Amino acid sequence: MILGLTFGAQAQRKKVINLPKYDLEPYHFGFILAANQMHYSLKLIDGFQFVSQEANAWPDEPNNDSIFLYGLNSVPTPGFTIGIVGNLRLGNYFDLRFIPSLSFGERHLDYSIMRWRDGEGELIEVRKSNPSTFVEFPLHIKYRSKRLNNAAAYLLGGINYKLDLASQKKKIVTVSDGSSYYDGIKTNQSDLSVEIGIGWDFYTNFFKFGTELKMSYGLTDVLIKDNLIYSSSINSMNNKVFQLSFTFE
């Protein structure tokens, strides 16, 4: 009981407030460093396992009697983001934030394909990689709690318009008969996402340091379909990103 009263009394003592007028400034700037993990949210067509694909729908492994897609999974890999923070004060607890950023990441698509050749079936695992380089223009509303000494929690939400520069880098493969095809899946260059996040700001002697966890979900179907097995069984495909950010303002 004595220890509890002692710690309670110490916790109630006011600490020296760093940057006391920081949140009263009409605007301020900074930069962001973040680690991201890009996903695809996939919706496959009903009964895709029972749909026989055309023999030429799998150019990587030609000369099949028939082929079926048995399974498809999106596997994320770590990436990173850098950007510039622009913050406009809207009120005592609300801010408008614009954070133009550049994000690098990659997703793997793992296919399980059953092929039949000369009356024998064989299940083959195939991985296709789809790298992305996003130029992002997120616009967020930030709600900040009242400061507790030199820290404050916050919530944010908004939209993010993205341009995928890597979607235009087509990997064309030419086969022995002279024909060619795109190796993997094609995606649209632009996307619009809705974003929500939580974070914590820490006020130091010279700047404000923040940590933030955010999720972004694409509102548009980014898949460009063709007649190959890699995309023909997908009904829709949306971007999904988790991001851990560190801000310096």
pLDDT, tens digit, 9 for 90 and up, residues 150-171 = 999 999 999 999 999 887 555 6
The SS3 of residue 150 is coil
In the chain, the amino acid numbered 39 is H
Instruction: Determine the average pLDDT of the residues in 68-90.
Output: 93
CA–CA dist 218, 163 (Å, integer): 12
Show Cβ contacts of residue 138 under 8 Å, excluding neighbours closer than 6 positions: 97, 98, 99, 100, 101, 158, 159, 160, 161, 195
Instruction: Please tell me the total number of residues recorded for the chain in this structure.
Output: 249
- Whether residue 246 is predicted with pLDDT greater than 70 in this model: the reply is yes
Domain annotation for the chain: domains and CATH numbers: 27-43+75-107+130-248 (2.40.160.20)
Q: Return the number of other C-beta atoms located less than 10 Å from residue 134's C-beta.
A: 25
> What is the model's pLDDT at position 115?
86
Distance, C-alpha 60 to centroid of its chain: 29
* pLDDT value at residue 43: 93
Structure confidence by residue, pLDDT tens digits, 173-231: 655 555 556 667 888 999 999 999 999 999 999 999 999 999 999 999 999 888 888 88
Q: How far apart are the C-alpha atoms of 156 and 143, rounded to whole Å?
A: 6
pTM for the full predicted model: 0.82
Q: What angle do CA 24, 26, 27 make, to 5 degrees?
A: 115
In this structure, which amino acid lies at residue 222? V
